[in-house]
Chain A
Amino acid sequence: EAGVVQSPRYKIIEKKQPVAFWCNPISGHNTLYWYLQNLGQGPELLIRYENEEAVDDSQLPKDRFSAERLKGVDSTLKIQPAELGDSAVYLCASSFGGGNYNEQFFGPGTRLTVL
């Protein structure tokens, strides 16, 4: 069974440029999460989807960040424009069911560097 796939694995951009990250969850997993992981910190939730509906986006900085999960399968997270402080690892995870007692399966992450 394929795991959670993320691309790209690494991205280097200049500040004020746009950037997009893509995630394909495990087949059949209806819940998808985007997390931000700063150096030396644990993952922090940005947005959670149940199928195609964003059910928790309270931590997503909506002035520059956007996300979509069309058709309730893969998802894209976008930053426009990027700032220096956005340098971090962006993690995607999925689970079968949205209960917070469920195991989350994580992708390897996208490491973003903003110069």
Chain B
Amino acid sequence: AQSVTQLDSQVPVFEEAPVELRCNYSSSVSVYLFWYVQYPNQGLQLLLKYLSGSTLVESINGFEAEFNKSQTSFHLRKPSVHISDTAEYFCAVSEAGGFKTIFGAGTRLFVKA
């Protein structure tokens, strides 16, 4: 069965600094990978996903994540964060041919002025 680990529960960072939120997964088969973001008092919403093809995927607001099969990782990065990026970020994994999506425990990104 698949599992996902988010290595940092909280990441404080100053505005305009780069950030990386780490995600590692475990699975014996091919996977689909997702990052969801949850802003305060809102539901989770998809930020980006990897299904196949290019291992580097991007979101419309400047985030990117790279699927690294050998490292079983899908880290989320942004070169310059804004105050508005303050939120909780969840990494999730689904096994190809399966039905479940497993979510990590979340990383709370706190952007300071």
B interface majority secondary structure: loop
The docked-state distance in angstroms from the alpha carbon of A43 to that of B36 is 11
The residues in A between 89 and 105 inclusive whose CB is less than 8 angstroms from any CB of B are: 91, 93, 98, 100-101, 103-105
Checking A43, A100, A109 against B99 with a beta-carbon cut-off of 8 angstroms, the contacting residue is: A100
Can you pick out 6 interface pairs between chain A and chain B where the beta carbons lie within 8 Å of each other?
A: A40-B105, A48-B99, A100-B98, A101-B94, A104-B44, A108-B41
The docked-state distance in angstroms from the alpha carbon of A4 to that of B100 is 20
The residues in A between 1 and 37 inclusive whose CB is less than 8 angstroms from any CB of B are: 3-4
Q: Which residue of A lies closest to B44 (CB)?
A: A106
Nearest CB on B from A112, distance (A): 16
- Write the residues of chain A forming the contact surface with B, with a CB cutoff of 8 angstroms: 3-4, 40-45, 48, 55-56, 91, 93, 98, 100-101, 103-109
Nearest CB on B from A70, distance (A): 22
Checking B36, B49, B99, B103 against A98 with a beta-carbon cut-off of 8 angstroms, the contacting residue is: B99
Tell me whether B74 is interfacial, beta carbon within 8 Å. Answer: no
A108 touches B42 (CB 8 A): yes
A106 touches B45 (CB 8 A): yes
The docked-state distance in angstroms from the alpha carbon of A101 to that of B50 is 9
The docked-state distance in angstroms from the alpha carbon of A3 to that of B44 is 11
- Write the residues of chain B forming the contact surface with A, with a CB cutoff of 8 angstroms: 9, 32, 36, 41-46, 49, 51, 90, 92, 94-96, 98-101, 103-106
The docked-state distance in angstroms from the alpha carbon of A41 to that of B4 is 12
B90 touches A42 (CB 8 A): yes
B9 touches A56 (CB 8 A): no
The docked-state distance in angstroms from the alpha carbon of A98 to that of B98 is 10
The docked-state distance in angstroms from the alpha carbon of A101 to that of B30 is 12
B94 touches A109 (CB 8 A): no
User: Which of A4, A45, A55 has its CB near the most chain B CB atoms (within 10 A)?
Assistant: A45
A41 touches B105 (CB 8 A): yes
B104 touches A42 (CB 8 A): yes
Q: Which residue of A lies closest to B4 (CB)?
A: A42
A3 touches B43 (CB 8 A): yes
